[in-house]
A = this chain, B = another copy of it.
Amino acid sequence: MTQPLYQQIADEYQRIIHSGALKRGDRFPSIRHIMQTQQVSMSTAVQACHVLEDWGLLRAKARAGYFVEDVQAHKQTTSPSAASTATTHPTELPEDWAKRYDGLHQLISQWLAEAEQKPVHIDFMTAVASPSLYPTAQLNRAATSVLRRHPEILTTFARRYGHPKLRAVLARRCAERGMPLEGKAITITHGCIEALNLALRAVCSKGDVVAVESPTFYGVLQALEAQGLQPLEIPTSAEHGISLDALEMALDTQQPPVRAVICMPTLHNPLGCSMSDANKQALVALCKRYQVPLIEDDIYAQTGPEQALGKPAKAWDSDGSVIYCSSLNKVLAPGMRLGWMAAGKWQARVEMLKYSQSRYIDELNQLTAASFMESQAYDRYLLRFQAHLQQLRHCAAQAIERSFGTQVQVIYPSGGMMLWLRLPDDASALELSKRALEQGVLTAPGPMFSSKPRMAHFLRLSYGAVSEAQIENGIRILAQLLPQCRIHATLAKTA
């Protein structure tokens, strides 16, 4: 559950370098020195140096060891100041270098960019699990074996729309979940987010209205705005998911009409709820009746026990009008960036859009994933993975109760890797997130999950990528900051 040792050591030296104790050009401690002072093996010391090298903090010189590199170069940049010095003649950059997030959902983009510029010690925002929870060693072995069996895989043009082996494995896994598909009905994409973008591009044009849940995944809101589409927020409850009554009214009366519905019926992000099978079926029927495509985002499905979550809505799709989108990023390997979709009757269109936008997906990752997923080891791994997540979820819920008491309400979902916290009504989640970020604790404030001024006192906490100690610690920091982020506190201060 904790970070690997070499990573901890790398973190420690990163802090030392950032503190200024080691400066650019300084000779870095030798491997032997690290082994002795940290009491670790040579391979751990070497690996820690590799990590620092990758971060751009160290540079190896042949036969002379490691030297400290430019510390600033390490920071990944979207910061205007950093990036502006990056062009050939930075001084001439215009004042409005920005214009940068026009039409890209300013609030979301700004928060993402801000988060990148600050040092983060506890990441409650990134919704993935730590490498130790994924089948890291097994995937490594699979990748090495794929490279041996397919020696030209890196230098051969990839097949369109995905490798047949991965498509076949995914189809079989879908069938097991009650959603029969053929491999060739599946298109491999760059993550679920590309799938969602392609689905929207395939069925909508600029200006169209798209029904979304409220709250909804901020990535959907950003993608909609970036494509010039209008979100129509449909009330969604943590008990039942999207309100079918409200959706029906919208489909019936909305002008301009709703062109697509985008929905997470299973393990909703951020609410964590899953609709009942009956409601999923009703949702599909409703969209079909109004001939509006349903875009289903099923990315968290396998992070919880199947019996609790039910089937995907796509299982009730009788005419190919549900566009199903998912990914292996959450459930198998965030580093592979493999997404996929079953676009039904829009498949040819989606695939040509994919071709025009980003062509094909490289095949090494695809075959690596396929060869692991076709084995029973995958099933065993999934159960372990779900149990680990549940343990972390439990730990987070307990920490919240301990630190916040009754001030915060939280719904306990059957899967996934996030909790949706309802703070006191007069609390500002944005203010809390900002103050927490100053202390190195990154969260996702509620307003990111709506295009309206809603969700101001909600907060999303992802617990997959942090240790139990970090959960405890981070939540304590949040609870300590909360009193300063309540309107009555602000009023009292100004009074």
| Chain B positions within 8 Å of A262 at CB level | none
| Chain B positions within 8 Å of A494 at CB level | none
| Chain B positions within 8 Å of A318 at CB level | 88-89, 92
Number of copies: 2
Of all A-B residue pairs in the complex, the 5 with the closest CB atoms, nearest first, are: A86-B185, A134-B155, A87-B320, A131-B152, A100-B348
A353–B226 CB distance below 8 A: yes
Cβ of A195 to closest chain B Cβ, rounded Å: 10
| Chain B positions within 8 Å of A367 at CB level | 54
Give Cα A73–Cα B182 distance, bound, in whole angstroms: 9
A54–B163 CB distance below 8 A: yes
User: What 0/1 pattern do residues 127 to 163 of A give for CB contact below 8 A with B?
Assistant: 0100100111101100110010111111111111101
Determine if A479 is an interface residue (Cβ-Cβ < 8 Å): no
Determine if A33 is an interface residue (Cβ-Cβ < 8 Å): no
Determine if A194 is an interface residue (Cβ-Cβ < 8 Å): yes
Q: Contacts A88-B320, A320-B89: A364 and B348 contacting too (C-beta < 8 A)? A: no
Determine if A363 is an interface residue (Cβ-Cβ < 8 Å): yes
A154–B333 CB distance below 8 A: yes
Determine if A4 is an interface residue (Cβ-Cβ < 8 Å): yes
Within A86-101, the residues touching B (CB, 8 Å) are 86-90, 92-94, 97-101
Residue from A80, A93, A135, A349 having most chain B Cβ neighbours under 10 A: A349
| Chain B positions within 8 Å of A190 at CB level | 190, 358-359
Q: Which of these, B345, B359, B368, contacts A154 with CB under 8 Å?
A: B368
| Chain B positions within 8 Å of A54 at CB level | 150, 163-165, 367
Within A386-438, the residues touching B (CB, 8 Å) are none
Give Cα A144–Cα B364 distance, bound, in whole angstroms: 12
- The interface-forming segment of A108-116, A243-251, A443-451 is A108-116
Residue from A47, A168, A183, A319 having most chain B Cβ neighbours under 10 A: A319
A156–B131 CB distance below 8 A: yes
Give Cα A153–Cα B205 distance, bound, in whole angstroms: 38
Instruction: Show 5 residue pairs from A and B whose CB-CB distance is below 8 angstroms, ordered by the A residue.
Output: A47-B149, A74-B164, A76-B184, A85-B182, A140-B154
Q: Which of these, B94, B161, B191, contacts A358 with CB under 8 Å?
A: B191
A104–B349 CB distance below 8 A: yes
A137–B151 CB distance below 8 A: yes
| Chain B positions within 8 Å of A101 at CB level | 348-349, 352
Number of interface residues of A (CB under 8 A): 119
Q: Contacts A47-B149, A89-B320, A333-B155: A184 and B77 contacting too (C-beta < 8 A)? A: yes
| Chain B positions within 8 Å of A274 at CB level | none
Determine if A337 is an interface residue (Cβ-Cβ < 8 Å): yes
The chain B residue sitting closest to A183, CB to CB, is B73
Determine if A305 is an interface residue (Cβ-Cβ < 8 Å): no
Determine if A310 is an interface residue (Cβ-Cβ < 8 Å): no
Determine if A286 is an interface residue (Cβ-Cβ < 8 Å): no
Determine if A290 is an interface residue (Cβ-Cβ < 8 Å): no
Give Cα A154–Cα B357 distance, bound, in whole angstroms: 24
A164–B55 CB distance below 8 A: yes
| Chain B positions within 8 Å of A487 at CB level | none
A358–B356 CB distance below 8 A: no
B334–A155 CB distance below 8 A: yes
| Chain B positions within 8 Å of A320 at CB level | 84, 87-90, 92-93
Determine if A197 is an interface residue (Cβ-Cβ < 8 Å): yes
Q: Which of these, B88, B140, B348, contacts A151 with CB under 8 Å?
A: B140
A193–B83 CB distance below 8 A: no
Determine if A377 is an interface residue (Cβ-Cβ < 8 Å): no
Give Cα A125–Cα B333 distance, bound, in whole angstroms: 34
Give Cα A336–Cα B104 distance, bound, in whole angstroms: 29
Q: Which of these, B97, B150, B358, contacts A345 with CB under 8 Å?
A: B97
| Chain B positions within 8 Å of A131 at CB level | 152, 155-156
Cβ of A70 to closest chain B Cβ, rounded Å: 10
Determine if A29 is an interface residue (Cβ-Cβ < 8 Å): no
B319–A93 CB distance below 8 A: yes
Give Cα A92–Cα B288 distance, bound, in whole angstroms: 12
Give Cα A191–Cα B354 distance, bound, in whole angstroms: 12
Cβ of A337 to closest chain B Cβ, rounded Å: 5
Cβ of A202 to closest chain B Cβ, rounded Å: 9
